[in-house]
Chains A and B, each alone.
Chain A
Amino acid sequence: MIYLDNAATTRQKPPQVIDAVVRAMTTMGNAARGAHASSLQASRAIYDARCKLAALLGCPRPDHVVFTTNSTEALNIAINGILSPGDHVISTDLEHNSVLRPLYRLEAGHNVALDFVPADRRGNVDYRDFERLMRPETRAVVCTHGSNLTGNLIDVARVGEIAHRHGALLIVDASQTAGSIPIHMEDMGIDVLCFTGHKGLMGPQGTGGLCIREGVEIRPWKVGGSGVQSYSRTQPEEYPTRLEAGTLNSHGIMGLSAALDFIRDTGVEAIGRHERDLMRRFYDGVSAIEGVTVYGDFSREERGAIVALNIRDYDSGEIADALSQSYDIATRPGAHCAPRMHQALGTVEQGAVRFSFSWYNTREEVDAAVAAVRELAEP
């Protein structure tokens, strides 16, 4: 199979990730649940993973790296734990439903006012709109670092500067960029950075988390076992325990930790460069084919390794099915959980076929995918 659905999950992982999960499942106890060797091994390994993530993402405090099951959970924790009735929040048309639905729910039932920075037909935002939408009661801006549909990036440092100037926090969804695009949350003015472990970070599914700037208070939405302060009726205040009730996915986190070693040794820049080379090669190939429409802005070098396209007025689902059945190429059709982005692009009815590239893809695979699109586009 030629797997080009890496924006959904990277299917191929570094081999040491699998080894680490197996090792964890055969040796590790429960982290923070005792001081015997197996529990301490798990506690140390998880703390080590926090340190690696803090280093990779520019989070000053490893104990402010909180593990969750994915970025949807991280975003729900951040959004619901920061916003209160009467607050105003700004987001963008580029967002995934993992941002949109928590915000819509707060808007509908919890008296939170919500505005969106619109995207144009190329999927770009006008940064002046963030400024325009600010109100005295604006508590936060929630925005993606990179669109999961077009691959367009948002200059989060610029958004952070605007947000902070107006006394608002910046919550960033780095689902599509962590591991492929350099991120430094302190330098970029990010207050809460939400990530998933199974995409660009190349770890197992069921891993993710959030990095929290010192001084940012997030209310926990789940409370329970913490391994400390057991006779207290309330969840411990300290991060990460405050937001990590219950047993962590230590086995998955060990896989993620091994993936972080791989990324550190390989280099985020090198990984991103390889992925973008493939993306650019594919873009150059398909954009020259008659009947193919490519979405997004490819004028900048730095972007997510994603190419979304349609062929004539064909149903995107039919194209993805043909790619799968006739060419054994895995892509993602439809709406990609990004309804506002499709509305901005004018692709609500047709959807789009998304090709997304990873470290493990090759030029030969890209060329085969271009050839398949060319055949399918033949009148």
Chain B
Amino acid sequence: MRSKKPALVLAFASTAQALATEKYCQEHQLPGRLIPVPKEITAGCGLAWKAEVEQGEELTRALARAGIQWQEARVLELWA
């Protein structure tokens, strides 16, 4: 069984916002990657942004400064 560890997960109102986040993070060397949205956030489908918990503050501050919106930020136990 793969081990789990806490991760910061950002959920978005639309796929376009998730992709805008990825584009911004890649352009500004911000951490994280797109993942399928975890069931703890929504039972359905879609994309979410996953980053290390320790990087969360830097990440959310930078995104907020850039005007990028997310619907929900959660720390979840995900596969490492």
Q: A and B, one complex?
A: yes
Determine whether the beta carbon of B19 is less than 8 Å from that of A47: yes
Determine whether the beta carbon of A239 is less than 8 Å from that of B14: yes
User: 1/0 contact trace for A220-253 toward B, CB 8 Å?
Assistant: 0000000111111000101111000000000000
- In the complex the two chains form, what is the Cα distance from A104 to B79 in whole Å? 57
Q: Is A303 an interface position by the 8 A CB rule?
A: no
- In the complex the two chains form, what is the Cα distance from A40 to B20 in whole Å? 13
Determine whether the beta carbon of A228 is less than 8 Å from that of B34: no
Closest Cβ–Cβ distance, residue A93 to chain B (whole Å): 37
Q: Which residue of A lies closest to B15 (CB)?
A: A32
Closest Cβ–Cβ distance, residue A40 to chain B (whole Å): 6
Determine whether the beta carbon of A44 is less than 8 Å from that of B19: yes
- In the complex the two chains form, what is the Cα distance from A51 to B16 in whole Å? 10
The binding surface of chain B is classed by DSSP as mixed
Question: How many pairs of residues, A versus B, come closer than 8 Å at their CB atoms?
Answer: 62
Q: Is B17 an interface position by the 8 A CB rule?
A: yes
Q: Which residue of A lies closest to B13 (CB)?
A: A238
Q: Do A228 and B44 form a contact, CB below 8 Å, given A35-B36, A241-B15?
A: yes
User: 1/0 contact trace for B25-58 toward A, CB 8 Å?
Assistant: 0000000001111000011111100000000000
10 extra A-B contacts, CB within 8 A, seeds A34-B36, A43-B15:
A35-B47, A44-B22, A44-B23, A47-B19, A47-B20, A48-B23, A62-B20, A230-B44, A231-B43, A238-B14
Query: Can you pick out 13 interface pairs between chain A and chain B where the beta carbons lie within 8 Å of each other?
Result: A32-B46, A33-B45, A35-B36, A43-B47, A44-B19, A228-B14, A228-B44, A229-B42, A230-B45, A231-B42, A238-B17, A240-B16, A241-B14
Instruction: List the interface of chain A (C-beta within 8 A of B).
Output: 31-35, 40, 43-44, 47-48, 50-51, 62-63, 227-232, 236, 238-241
The 10 closest A-B CB pairs, nearest first, are: A63-B16, A230-B44, A47-B19, A228-B46, A238-B14, A32-B15, A35-B36, A238-B13, A231-B44, A241-B14
